[in-house]
């Protein structure tokens, strides 16, 4: 009888389906592995999703261009090589003309309010059509860029004739409108180009201070809010669809407006820390534009704003919606 029972149990176990292996979800970016966003945000996010999926998902971070870089990450998300990617909208040529609005000078006051505005617009507003090919997990704008370099910029006239490194076309248009010479640069080349004098200054946010060790090569900083790149965390739709319900629930619980708000708050904190790093040094100087000078810069930027509105489908409506959503998120 015991022999029969043991044989029956063995047969039952042999016929039972094996527990499915967790589905590998690859999150990729081109940021160094030790950058604060990977250490403090994306690495913990992968660990959290893996734990909450109850064994159905294995989310892993592939930083530092391991499987995708800034230029090819959008295509690699669409073809499934990357499951979740860190997409800089301004780097995907022609795909996100409306989303690029955060690059307009003086429109981003802080990351938190701008990011919530972008989420609402991408989720159910004027930007939704541009993100329909993917499952959007979060979207944020960095805090607005300032100017850092080897020469003091105290007023608009100080920019004339200077070589200024820029990260996107809108910033380049603004620099040219101010009488300076814009040079397109890659973020990771910032330190070297300043160090060898190829540039007088760069447009860069306080968030770049720590990862670039900017204080070593830039001694003068001007606060200005010159626009900001937009970054989306985008997921391949098929990658999401193949997950078990518990895996989808783990992704959903760690995405959307909630994660967007967290990212915005994170970048505002990193921005404040970057400024503090510069302010406490004896060999660096920060210039905060006074109210009158700030108004001059805004006035001089209006042709750049007007050209963006003209060149962008529904440009005026999109910009108006962003301003409404931004101010609402800021409690205005």
Convert the pLDDT of each residue in 165-185 to its tens digit. Answer: 998 889 999 999 999 999 999
Per-domain boundaries in the chain: 21-98+110-141+230-269, 146-227+271-329
What is the rounded CA–CA span in Å between residue 115 and residue 308? 20
Q: Is 159 a residue whose pLDDT tops 80?
A: yes
Confidence at residue 34, expressed as pLDDT on a 0 to 100 scale: 86
Q: How far apart, in Å, do the first and last CA atoms of the chain sit?
A: 79
Per CATH, 21-98+110-141+230-269 and 146-227+271-329 having the same topology is answered yes
> Is the CATH number of domain 146-227+271-329 2.30.29.30?
no
- Tell me if 64 sits within 8 A of 5, measured CB to CB: no
- Residues 29 and 48: their CA atoms lie apart, in Å, by 18
How confident is the model at residue 7, as a pLDDT? 52
Quote the crossing angle between the two packed helices 111-124 and 257-279, to the nearest 10°. 160
**Predicted confidence (pLDDT) at residue 305 exceeds the cutoff of 60:** yes
State how far the Cα of 277 lies from the Cα of 210, in Å rounded to an integer: 8
Q: Supply the pLDDT for residue 17.
A: 41
Is residue 14 predicted with pLDDT exceeding 70? no
User: Cβ neighbours of residue 235 under 8 Å, at least 6 residues apart?
Assistant: 77, 83, 84, 134, 135, 136, 137, 251
Give me the DSSP letters along 78-123. Answer: HTTS-SEEEEEGGGSTTT-TTGGGGGSTT--S-HHHHHHHHHHHHH
Token digits for 70? Answer: 């800034």
Q: How confident is the model at residue 36 (pLDDT cuts 50, 70, 90)?
A: confident
Task: Show Cβ contacts of residue 58 under 8 Å, excluding neighbours closer than 6 positions.
Answer: 22, 23, 24, 25, 50
Q: State the Cα–Cα distance between residues 120 and 131, nearest whole angstrom.
A: 12
Exposed e or buried b per residue across 143-177, where buried means at least 16 C-beta atoms within 10 angstroms of its C-beta: bbbbbbbeeebeeeebbeebbbbbbbebbbbbbeb
Local confidence band at 13 (pLDDT 50, 70, 90 cut-offs): very low
Residue-level pLDDT at 262: 95
- The structure tokens listed for 316 are 């005026």
Q: Are 49 and 254 in contact (CB under 8 A)?
A: yes
Q: Indicate the pLDDT class of residue 4, thresholds 50, 70 and 90.
A: very low
Question: DSSP letters of 127-191?
Answer: TGGGGTTSEEEEEEEPPPPEEEESS---SGGGGTT-EEEESSHHHHHHHHHTT-EEEE--GGGHH
CATH code for the domain defined by 21-98+110-141+230-269: 3.40.190.170
pLDDT for residue 16:
41
321 pLDDT tier (thresholds 50, 70, 90) = very high
pLDDT for the residue 19: 60
**Residue 330 DSSP label:** T
Report the alpha-carbon distance of residue 162 to residue 151 in Å, rounded: 9
**186-229 per-position pLDDT tens digit:** 888 999 999 999 999 999 999 999 889 999 999 999 999 999 99
203 DSSP β-pair partners: 147
Average pLDDT along the chain: 93
CA neighbor of 165 nearest in space, from 181, 145, 141, 144: 181
C-alpha–C-alpha distance, residues 122 and 130, integer Å? 8
Rounded CA-CA distance 173/166 in Å is 10
């Amino acid at each position: 009888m015991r022999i029969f029972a043991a044989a029956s149990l063995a047969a039952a176990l042999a016929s039972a389906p094996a527990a499915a292996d967790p589905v590998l979800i690859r999150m990729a970016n081109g940021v160094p592995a030790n950058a604060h966003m990977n250490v403090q945000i994306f690495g913990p996010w992968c660990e959290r999703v893996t734990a909450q999926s109850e064994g159905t998902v294995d989310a892993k971070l592939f930083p530092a261009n391991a499987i995708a870089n800034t230029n090819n990450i959008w295509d690699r998300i669409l073809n499934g090589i990357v499951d979740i990617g860190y997409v800089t909208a301004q780097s995907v040529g022609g795909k996100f003309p409306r989303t690029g609005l955060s690059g307009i000078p003086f429109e981003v006051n802080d990351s938190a309010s701008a990011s919530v505005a972008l989420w609402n617009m991408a989720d159910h507003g004027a930007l939704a059509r541009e993100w329909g090919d993917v499952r959007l997990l979060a979207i944020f704008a960095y805090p607005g860029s300032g100017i850092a370099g080897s020469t003091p910029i105290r007023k608009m006239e100080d920019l004339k004739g200077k070589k200024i490194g820029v990260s996107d076309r809108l910033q380049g248009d603004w620099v040219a409108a101010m009488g300076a010479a814009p040079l397109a640069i890659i973020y990771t080349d910032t330190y070297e180009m300043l160090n060898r004098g190829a540039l007088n200054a760069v447009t860069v946010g306080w968030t770049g201070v720590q990862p670039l060790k900017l204080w070593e090569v830039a001694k003068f900083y001007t606060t200005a809010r010159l626009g900001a790149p937009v970054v989306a965390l985008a997921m391949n739709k098929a990658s999401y669809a193949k997950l078990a319900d518990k895996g989808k629930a783990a992704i959903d619980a760690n995405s959307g407006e909630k994660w967007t708000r967290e990212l915005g708050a994170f970048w505002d904190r990193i921005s404040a820390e970057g400024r503090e790093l510069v302010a406490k040094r004896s060999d660096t100087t920060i210039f905060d534009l006074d109210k009158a000078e700030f108004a001059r810069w805004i006035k001089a930027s209006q042709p750049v704003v007007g050209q963006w509105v003209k060149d962008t489908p529904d440009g005026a409506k999109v910009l108006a919606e962003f301003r409404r959503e931004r101010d609402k998120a800021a409690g205005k």
